[in-house]
Amino acid sequence: MKIKTIVIAIASIALSGQAVAWGQNGHRVTGAIAEQYLTPQAQQAISQILVNEDLAEASTYPDEMRADPSEFWKKTANPWHYVTVPANKTYQEVGAPEEGDALTALSQFTASLKDPQASLADKQLALRFIVHIIGDLHQPLHVGNGTDKGGNDVKLEFFWQDSNLHRVWDSELIDRRELSYTEWTTILSRKISTQQAKEWLVADPQVWIKESGAIRDTIYPSSNKLSWDYLYQQMPTVQQRLQMGGVRIAAYLNQVFK
């Protein structure tokens, strides 16, 4: 029975469409980079909410909890990892579906974080989701076009293994380099110039969504067999979106705790 339960849980994650982004390495990189750009006020507030937990650890919580059998994690929270913006449309034109999306969830969790009456557990959940959602919105396929489940329906081979475009962008491009998240953080952090950090400190989700949507429309491959060429072409974009996601997490939290 336990084995059956595990199989069902894994299947539900696999079938969840756009819900998983960057993979654990990618999310942890964005959280770790964010730590470097927090104001003292934000650092203090975060340390009081996340006891013995940094943003890298917090960043993966919403994905890890998807195996929880409760309705909240199986159904309610599922749409909170992505937005849908068809080609040649803006998020403002499309808006959120009835069940909500990443942007509506970000707003709700921000309100919880600012609410002096919210419990510590509610604030912890809110902070973990905020870190995660901002990372999600910097993965181009988490601004889906509404036709292919954020690239999940685009079946292909990546280095001669069956995959799909969403999985390639979530984790396989990153994991191909065989670096830990701390190694990725070190490499990417030292390449963020002072000027870039200043330009990227944007706390407006509409900006992030517009950027990801524009990138999304350029990353669909002409071939269904991807290997070194695609890795070479897309890795600079992957790296910059991880860098920007980290800086934006800090920008957003600095604003929340200002």
Task: For residue 10, give Cα distances in angstroms to 4, 14, 16, 140, 165.
Answer: 10, 6, 10, 24, 19
> Phi/psi at 254 (nearest 5 deg)?
-60, -40
* pLDDT digits 0-9 by tens, 56-72: 999 999 999 989 999 99
β-pairing, 225-226 vs 155-158, is parallel
Q: E strand or H helix at 226, and its extent?
A: strand 225-226
* Cβ–Cβ under 8 Å, residues 17 and 149: yes
Is residue 10 pLDDT above 50, yes or no?
no
* Cβ–Cβ under 8 Å, residues 101 and 84: yes
**What is the pLDDT averaged over residues 41-68?**
95
* Cβ–Cβ under 8 Å, residues 226 and 11: no
Domain ranges (residues) in the chain: 2-256
Q: What does pTM read for this prediction?
A: 0.91
Among 15-24, 55-64, 95-104, the minimum mean pLDDT is found in: 15-24
Cα angle value 49/51/57 (rounded, 5°): 95
* pLDDT digits 0-9 by tens, 176-232: 999 999 999 999 999 999 999 999 999 999 999 999 999 999 999 999 999 999 999
pLDDT of residue 23: 87
Buried b (16+ CB within 10 A) or exposed e, 58-93: bbbbbbeebeeeeeebbeebbbbbbbbbeeeeebee
* CATH of the domain spanning 2-256, picked from 1.10.575.10, 2.60.120.680, 1.10.579.10, 3.40.50.2300: 1.10.575.10
Read out DSSP for 146-170? Answer: SSSTTTTT-EEEETTEEEEHHHIII
> Phi/psi at 198 (nearest 5 deg)?
-65, -45
